Copies of this chain bind each other. A is one copy, B any other.
Amino acid sequence: MNDRILLAHGSGSKLSHDLIEKILTPPINNAILSRMDDSAVFELSGKLAFTTDSYVVNPIFFPGGNIGRLAVCGTVNDLSMSGAKPLYISLALIIEEGLEIDELRKIVESVRETAEEAGVQIVTGDTKVVNRGKADRLFINTAGIGVISAGLDISGSNAREGDKIILSGGIGEHGMAVMSQREGLQFRLPVVSDCAPLNKLVSEMLAVSSNIHSLRDPTRGGLASTLNEFAGQSGVGITIEEDKIPIHDGVRGACELLGLDPLYIANEGKLVAAVAPEDAQKVLSAMRMNKYAGQAAVIGEVTGERKGRVVLKTRIGSSRILDMPTGEILPRIC
* Residue in B56, B82, B124, B221 whose beta carbon sits within 8 Å of that of A94 in the complex: B56
Question: 1/0 contact trace for A107-134 toward B, CB 8 Å?
Answer: 0000000000000000111101111011
A4 interfacial contact with B, CB 8 Å: no
Residues of B near A39 (CB, < 8 A) are 49-51, 78-79, 81-82, 84, 146
Contact B82 A41 (CB under 8 A): yes
User: Once the chains are docked, how many angstroms separate the CA of A51 from the CA of B7?
Assistant: 23
| A168 at interface, CB cutoff 8 A | no
Query: B155 touching A35 by the CB < 8 A rule?
Result: yes
Q: Which residues of B contact A301 (CB under 8 A)?
A: none
- A6-64 contacts to B, CB under 8 A, are 6-8, 10-17, 35-56, 58
Give which listed residue, B13, B35, B52, contacts A327 with CB less than 8 A.
Answer: B13
A256 to chain B: closest CB distance in Å? 21
Contact, CB under 8 Å: A128 / B38: no
The answer for the CA separation of A92 and B233 in the assembled complex, in Å, is 22
A219 at the interface (CB under 8 A from B): yes
A70 within 8 A of partner (CB): no
Q: Give the interface size bracket for A toward B.
A: 35 or more
In contact, A92 and B325 (Cβ under 8 angstroms): no
CB distance from A28 to the nearest CB of B (A): 14
Partner of A141, one of B42, B52, B266, B324: B52
Contacts of A331 in B (CB 8 A): 7-8, 10-11, 129-131
Q: Can you offer 23 A-B residue contacts whose CB atoms are under 8 A?
A: A8-B326, A12-B221, A12-B222, A13-B221, A13-B324, A13-B326, A13-B329, A17-B324, A37-B82, A37-B156, A38-B82, A38-B217, A39-B50, A41-B47, A42-B48, A43-B48, A48-B145, A50-B123, A52-B125, A55-B128, A134-B135, A134-B136, A135-B135
Interface residues, chain A, CB within 8 Å of chain B?
6-8, 10-17, 35-56, 58, 77-79, 81-82, 84, 88, 90-94, 123-126, 128-131, 133-136, 139, 141, 143, 145-146, 148, 155-157, 216-217, 219-222, 225, 229, 233, 266, 324-332
- List 12 extra interface pairs beyond A13-B225, A50-B123, CB under 8 A: A10-B331, A13-B221, A14-B324, A39-B49, A42-B48, A51-B124, A52-B92, A54-B92, A129-B331, A130-B332, A134-B135, A145-B145
